[in-house]
Amino acid sequence: MHRTIFTTPLVNTVLRAFSVSFLKLGGWQVEGCLPPGASKSVLIAAPHTSNWDLPYTLMVAFTLRLNIYWMGKAQIFRPPFRGLMMWLGGIPVQRETSNNLVAASAAAIRAADGPVQLIVPPEGTRSKSRQWKTGFYYIAVSAQVPIVMAYMDYEKKRSGLGAIFEPSGDIDVDMAAIKAFYAPFKGRNANQFHAD
């Protein structure tokens, strides 16, 4: 995995202090911590309904001392922003072409020398979407790492990490259980998020 803002020593310290202060002043409550055994894991990122999700996610990650990577559409990685987006932990994804993203992501997690948490939004878009993508599930299963239920609730101003979700092998049952966990949370644009 490439070097990010989370692995840049002095910058990490300064931005963690800023993030803790900003979220506290804004009335946000950051909950939970990375469960034991989840230093390498896949984090579900839901609800995902706004561009504001990225800066808030980065601040929550600093507060919880995570080492996150996140997937974003390739268009936001165009020059002159590519270097910055990569440094922020971004991994460009070509949504229009079929590629073996699951296998590549799982291999990168397995090959990482240290802790790495890959954030994947199941909606796959900020736009209104009823169909959740299952890539996060198969990445975790293939990499043999836990799935952590990460959430952001704009209505109650709370964000953090929930429990580990253990896949049963029955994706339909598992997706129903995951969606049930996320049903109470409200995204910034709440009408665009559906967990039913």
Return the percentage of the chain with pLDDT > 70, whole number. Answer: 90
- Report, as an integer, the average pLDDT of 20-42: 95
Q: Is residue 107 part of a domain?
A: yes
When divided into structural domains, the chain yields a total of 1
Q: Which residues pair with 42 in a beta bridge?
A: 118, 147
> Which structure tokens are listed for 95?
């949504």
The whole-number pLDDT of residue 122 equals 82
- Is 37 among the domain residues? yes
Residue 193 counted as domain residue: no
151: containing domain: 5-188
Q: Evaluate whether residue 194 is within a structural domain.
A: no
Structure tokens belonging to residue 18 = 């800023």
User: Is beta strand 158-165 parallel, antiparallel or unpaired with respect to 29-31?
Assistant: parallel
pLDDT in tens, 131-179: 788 889 999 999 999 999 999 999 999 999 999 998 888 999 999 999 9
CB within 8 Å of 89: residues ≥ 6 apart: 4, 5, 6, 58, 61, 68, 69, 70
In a domain, 96, yes or no: yes
Q: Is residue 10 included in any domain, yes or no?
A: yes
Q: Strand 158-165 relative to strand 40-46: parallel, antiparallel, unpaired?
A: unpaired
